[in-house]
């Protein structure tokens, strides 16, 4: 089954692939890998802003991370490689959080669980989840990815 069919089956609609907010490209495909730029959480076209531990609740943060994951999929689709994903290799999750907030892994699960849902075993990835004192445009979460492609 194609990943697009799998997304339909799950009732998941991908967002429009967001244009980069600066001088870079969303995806680079080379050497059997796709490197996906850090994606921000857009829900219905609106950026999820704020800080975990302050004005963003855990469940909102998880939803924001899932939105970043959906944008990663949208970027892979836009780059024409969504159906070539052999393995999700690595997610890097940056969580806008206060110094007291320590549940970055739970937040990042929003993106990680999406990859498992969509790709099954091929979605089982390595990950680093850390905090940042602020993120581009005030975003609550940013997630980048490395994906291995079938040749």
Q: State the residues that interact with a copy of itself by CB under 8 A.
A: 20-28, 30-33, 35-38, 51, 86-87, 89-92, 94, 97-106, 108-109, 112-113, 116, 124-138, 142, 144, 146, 148
Give min distance, CB of 17 to a copy of itself, in A.
13
Tokens 């890998």 correspond to 33
Residue closer to a copy of itself by CB (options 7, 104) is: 104
The nearer residue to a copy of itself, 5 or 150, going by C-beta atoms, is 150
Identify which of residues 59 and 128 has a Cβ nearer to a copy of itself in the complex.
128
Token digits of residue 136: 């581009």
3-state secondary structure of 69: helix
Cβ 122 to a copy of itself shortest distance, Å: 10
What's 143's DSSP letter?
A: E
| β-strand partners of 46 | 43
CB 16 to a copy of itself: min, Å: 19
Least separation in angstroms between residue 79's CB and a copy of itself is 10
The answer to whether the beta carbons of residues 97 and 71 sit under 8 Å apart is no
| Tokens representing residue 50 in the block | 């704020």
| Contact of 107 with 132, CB cutoff 8 Å | no
Angle at 141 between CA 11 and CA 16, to 5 degrees: 45
| Minimum distance from residue 94 beta carbon to a copy of itself (Å) | 5
Nearest CA among 25, 111, 121, 129 for reference residue 73: 111
Nearer to a copy of itself, 5 or 128 (CB): 128
Q: Which is nearer to a copy of itself, 59 or 130 (CB)?
A: 130
């Amino acid at each position: 089954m194609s990943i697009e069919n799998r997304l339909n089956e799950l009732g998941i609609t991908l967002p429009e692939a967001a244009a980069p907010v600066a001088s870079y490209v969303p995806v680079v495909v080379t050497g059997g890998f796709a490197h996906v730029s850090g994606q921000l959480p857009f829900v219905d076209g609106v950026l999820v802003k704020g800080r975990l531990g302050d004005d963003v609740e855990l469940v909102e943060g998880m939803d924001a991370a899932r939105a970043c994951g959906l944008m990663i999929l949208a970027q892979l689709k836009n780059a024409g490689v969504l159906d070539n994903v052999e393995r999700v290799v690595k997610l890097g999750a940056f969580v806008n959080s206060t110094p007291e907030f320590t549940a970055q892994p739970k937040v990042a699960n929003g993106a990680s669980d999406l990859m498992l849902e969509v790709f099954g075993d091929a979605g089982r990835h390595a990950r680093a989840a850390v905090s940042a004192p602020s993120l581009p445009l005030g975003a609550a979460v940013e997630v980048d990815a490395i994906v291995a492609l079938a040749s």
